[in-house]
Amino acid sequence: MNKNVQTCAQLINESNNITVLSGAGLSTKAGIPDFRGPDGIYNKIKIKNPENIFDIFYFYNEPSLFYKFHKEFLKNITNANPTFTHNFFVDLENKNKLNGIITQNIDSLHQKAGNKKVNEIHGGIWDNYCIECNKHYSYESIIKLLDKNEIAKCDICNSVIKPDIVFFGEQVKNFEYCRDLVEECDLLIIVGSSLSVVPASLLPYYCNSDIIIVNKGDIFFDYIPQDNLLIYENNDIDSFFVQVKKYCE
Ligand code: CNA
């Protein structure tokens, strides 16, 4: 038996104010590729600088690169269902153990699973707006526009529409509130993130309590307070939490 499983369950059982920091690795089992994992977008898309897809300055000059990717991404999201671990976090909220979820994901799977205390630090796909006249568009209307066009453009002024996702070069959402969630929690669980996107990756630095990391593959440890790191499980997230749940009260 993996000792980390038992320790993780024990920490969860003893905690009443858990903060979760999630990343793209949490949703790969739902069929949504991450960025930097072995089957991630950066490895699969054969272009020179895949970071440009989400670069705000690149987007303003050449939105077609982003929309080529986004069209496929929206199809994946529409068909995706929450994973075992998304549902495990719903249980934590139902048991009043959850302080909040900070997610770097834009797929809304935490909300689809039933979590209410979700903070999308990198925004989401549900709201979209014209970069010129600010008319807002729903997710459904963007899907319709992309059925017929390569780029989603405004029906009033013909300018480009941008989803309310935080691109590289833009400010993240509610950083101070997310920092408070990390500062005040009695257990921080980090899942499925390479912790390589600043400033979200800085958040663990503010943690005063125990930290659990479950992530398969390389991560950046630079902002993890080492004395607080009780568990680093380099494993598949669902396989780990399926075991943990057996020991949770
Ligand atoms: P990342 O940099 O792609 O890191 C993901 C990590 O998860 C990698 O280390 C993977 O090896 C690991 N991983 C993948 N699958 C599993 C698994 N089943 N079990 C355990 N570990 C796994 O992604 P981050 O979230 O750290 O980077 C932040 C970016 C990614 C944010 O801006 C997101 O918006 C963006 N993103 C989001 C989604 C989504 O919403 N689902 C998808 C792709 C990218």
Mean pLDDT in order along the chain per 10 residues (249 residues): 92 98 97 84 78 94 93 88 98 97 96 98 95 96 93 97 96 98 98 96 98 95 95 97 96
The Å distance, Cα 161 to ligand 1 centre, comes to 25
pLDDT (0 to 100) of residue 50: 85
The Å distance, Cα 247 to ligand 1 centre, comes to 27
pLDDT (0 to 100) of residue 45: 73
The residue from 70, 110, 122, 136 that is catalytic is 122
The Å distance, Cα 78 to ligand 1 centre, comes to 18
What region does 232 belong to: left with phi over 0, alpha with psi -120 to 50, or beta? Answer: beta
pLDDT (0 to 100) of residue 1: 58
For residue 29, the ligand 1 atom closest to its alpha carbon is: 18
pLDDT (0 to 100) of residue 67: 95
Task: Specify the residue with its C-alpha closest to ligand 1, atom 9.
Answer: 194
* Residue 232 token pair: 């680093």
Judge whether 70 counts as a catalytic residue: no
Query: Taking a C-beta distance cutoff of 8 angstroms, is the pair 152, 145 a contact?
Result: yes
Task: Specify the residue with its C-alpha closest to ligand 1, atom 16.
Answer: 25
pTM (2 decimals)?
Answer: 0.95
Separation between Cα atoms, residue 244 and residue 221, nearest integer Å: 24
The Å distance, Cα 50 to ligand 1 centre, comes to 15
Establish whether residue 164 lines the binding site of ligand 1, counting it when its CB lies within 6 angstroms of any ligand atom: no
pLDDT (0 to 100) of residue 78: 86
Pocket test for ligand 1, best of 34, 165, 212 (most atoms within 8 A of CB): 34
